[in-house]
Amino acid sequence: MDRQARADALDREMATRLLPEAELAALGNWWAENKATYPEGNPGPHAVCYTPARWVDITPWPKRLADPSVTGDAWVSRADVTSMVADALQLQRGAHKEALVATYVWGKGKCGSPKGSGPATLAEILKAVEENPTALADAVEALRERGAQDAYAALRKAISGFGPAFFTKFLYFAGKAGVVAAGPDPLILDGVLACRMRSLATAVGQETGLDPDGSIAAWVWADWDWTPHRYGVYLAFMHAASRQLARTDTWPTDAGPDLLECALFQRCRAPRH
């Protein structure tokens, strides 16, 4: 069996098994600790701290973000960003760059961190958008007409410096704003979530003998630059795993797969004691 065939077999096995009992228990514990923060399983209140003054050179700047003259810290939530992206896209103002800025600032966040590469990288991405000015609109159209995997394919390598860890945030919020065709809603996929998927795949590969040394899991769930096919596999797994969780008595029954994405991310980033 060649490497791709083994990868496909491992994907099928993961799709059958979904989350193991230990992971279900850990996620149930996470929900017990966080259900007051996310009423009815809605991750909209998930907020990120940022320092507006760090982004003073970024334009266009969404009006609902704190003014860049603010030198202290501010907070922006998933719900806030969804509203900003809806304003930019659903109201057809064509403000795709503004939507990108909102999603990028939320994604970067990092309140209190020293001035680093975030604003400078975003400035370069915005310049690159000018070199391919229809890329964001094309991705939104793909999301609206054909779904998340095609939208991912439309953005992959379309804008220099704008990799999937951040452009899936753009797609996620566009989906939350209602710009999505039939099929699974887009979700965020970054290095932290890929690491969690790699860990789950490694365990299944060892248990089944499909991937005894974890090399297939490491290949398909690398840290970045996932293929559109891999993004589709990720979406299918996350949506199915969310339904699996909803059948337990430790998870909100009406929660969407983005609550699972939020939980997996936060659990991986939590300090270990």
**Domain boundaries of the chain, sorted by first residue:** 3-34+190-269, 47-176
Q: With a threshold of 0.85, does the pTM exceed it?
A: yes
Pairing mode, if any, of strands 74-77 and 47-50? Answer: antiparallel
pLDDT of the chain, 273 residues: tens digit per residue? 799 999 999 999 999 999 999 999 999 999 999 999 999 899 999 999 999 999 999 999 999 999 999 889 999 999 999 999 999 987 556 699 999 999 999 999 875 455 557 999 999 999 999 999 999 999 999 999 999 999 999 999 999 999 999 999 999 999 999 878 878 999 999 999 999 999 999 999 999 999 999 999 999 999 999 999 999 999 999 999 999 999 999 999 999 999 999 999 998 654 433
Peptide bond into 60 cis (omega under 30): yes
Residue 1: its pLDDT value, please? 76
Closest CA to 44 of 15, 6, 83, 86: 83
Residue 196: its pLDDT value, please? 96
Q: How many residues does the chain have?
A: 273
